[in-house]
Amino acid sequence: MATMMSPTDRIEELFASAGASDYLGEPVTVAAHLLQAGALAEAAGAVPALVAAALLHDVGHLRGADRLGGGLERSGRDLMAGTDNNHGDRGAAWLAQWFPDSVTEPIRLHVAAKRYLCAVESSYLGRLSEASVYTLSVQGGPMSEAEALEFENSPWAADAVAVRRWDDMAKDAAGDVPGFGHFRLLLEGLLVAA
């Protein structure tokens, strides 16, 4: 008899399989990037839901075919080839099976947060990695003034910006971060459905 995998086990499997691959022109793997982002959020004293959002913000890069991709395989490779893979939306929708909005909405909006910060902080674009600058162009570029105002009015805007900043810092090839197991209890404590 086959056993059902828990949501946490399914996520850990993604970290160990697809997450072990390179991270889209960055000097770390996807899993290392996500673990660093989670560790940065934790070190900043973020609430558990925001730590989880930082830890899981790029899960959409690791997901293959799904209904949000029209049944097509979508990955970070598509993004680097010039096709927006909508990884924020796709990851948030997949995680919404198990996690509350306080985890999934900052994930859904973390790309919009990059576009927002490019529009409202004159020095932000210059701090992005070369790969992030490229993906920004694929994802719509800096927001217009109207888009930025709409983003600011989202109840999740501040959390999405926090996740985005940890995302930007989580690309240290020499970074010493805990393994996925360190975050297991935190994730399990946030599950709303299994």
The identity of residue 122, as a single letter, is: S
The pTM of this model reads: 0.88
Res 71: pLDDT: 47
pLDDT of residue 153: 97
CA–CA gap between residue 62 and residue 29 (Å, rounded): 11
What residue spans define the domains of the chain? 7-187
Residues 94-105: pLDDT tens digits? 899 999 999 999
In this prediction, residue 159 carries a pLDDT of: 98
Other Cβ atoms less than 10 A from the Cβ of 90: the count is 22
What's the pLDDT at 190?
Answer: 98
Q: Which fold has domain 7-187?
A: Hypothetical protein af1432 (1.10.3210)
At residue 104's C-alpha, the angle toward residues 103 and 109, to 5°, is 115
| Segments of the chain with pLDDT less than 70 | 1-3, 18-26, 63-85, 193-194
pLDDT score at 72: 46
**CB neighbours (10 Å) of residue 172?**
15
The span from the CA of 83 to the CA of 80, in Å, is: 7
Amino acid at 186: L
pLDDT recorded at residue 107: 97
